[in-house]
Amino acid sequence: MAARVQQLEERLSKALGEETWRASGLGPPADVAELNSRITKLEQSNVGLTRALEERQAELEAARAANRDLPRALNQKS
């Protein structure tokens, strides 16, 4: 949660800085703005992929735990 808050604060800071930069008439060239937009999209994608990976790792750990317990459960029924 703290990491997400920090990420959002950084994005807000960048957005406010860019807005101030443009308002001053010294805005970045279009290609730099386009690259910054692409970076933002990739960062958002990275956050989503990281969350998905964490979920899959949790599922894998649960499956491994079930696999460890399965032989014991089968032996107890016999």
pLDDT tens string 37-61 = 999 999 999 999 999 999 999 999 9
pLDDT tens digits for 4-27? Answer: 889 989 999 999 888 887 777 776
pTM for the model: 0.51
What's the pLDDT score for residue 69?
87
pLDDT bucket at 74, cuts 50 / 70 / 90: confident
Q: Tell me the DSSP string of 6-54.
A: HHHHHHHHHHHHHHHHHHTT-PPPHHHHHHHHHHHHHHHHHHHHHHHHH
